[in-house]
Amino acid sequence: QVQLQESGPGLVKPSQTLSLTCAVSGASVSTGNYYWSWIRQPAGGGLEWIGRIYNTESTKYNPSLESRVTISADTSKNQFSLMLNSVTAADSAVYYCARGLLKFDSWGQGSLVTVSS
């Protein structure tokens, strides 16, 4: 059974870079069977797909965030990471990592990130 676990700072200052990591167990991020995505949810809000990585190198991002987002993978640690730069308060949200191709069948428990000085 695949498990995903997000980790990273819960507080980021405006204009700085948000960095989160998703540790994966029970599946490999390096095989080409799945996409590995980041999704976020502001407090009381809906779900927004941020981007995905496939086969450790192929990435695709939401056009609304593409200029600020980088997703990468570390096969030695079986994890993938999110970097979002130039953050503002609007980037405050619960950030989820998830596995899926056409839909998301496994999710991490979420990591709350607050952007505030």
Partner 1 sequence: EIVLTQSPGTLSLSPGERATLSCRASQSITNNYLAWYQQKLGQAPRLLIYGVSIRVAGIPDRFSGSGSETDFSLTISRLEPEDFAVYYCQQYGGSPPYIFGQGTKLEIK
Distance of closest approach, residue 77 Cβ to partner 1, in angstroms? 22
Q: Which is nearer to partner 1, 54 or 79 (CB)?
A: 54
d(CA 29, CA 107): 14
Distance of closest approach, residue 46 Cβ to partner 1, in angstroms? 5
Q: 3-class SS at 52?
A: strand
Q: Which is nearer to partner 1, 20 or 98 (CB)?
A: 98
Q: 3-class SS at 79?
A: strand
Distance of closest approach, residue 19 Cβ to partner 1, in angstroms? 20
Both tokens of 7, joined, read 């980790």
Binding site for partner 1 (CB under 8 A): 37, 39, 46-49, 52, 60-64, 96, 98, 102-105, 107-110
Long-range contacts of 66-71 (CB under 8 A, 24+ apart): 71/36, 71/38
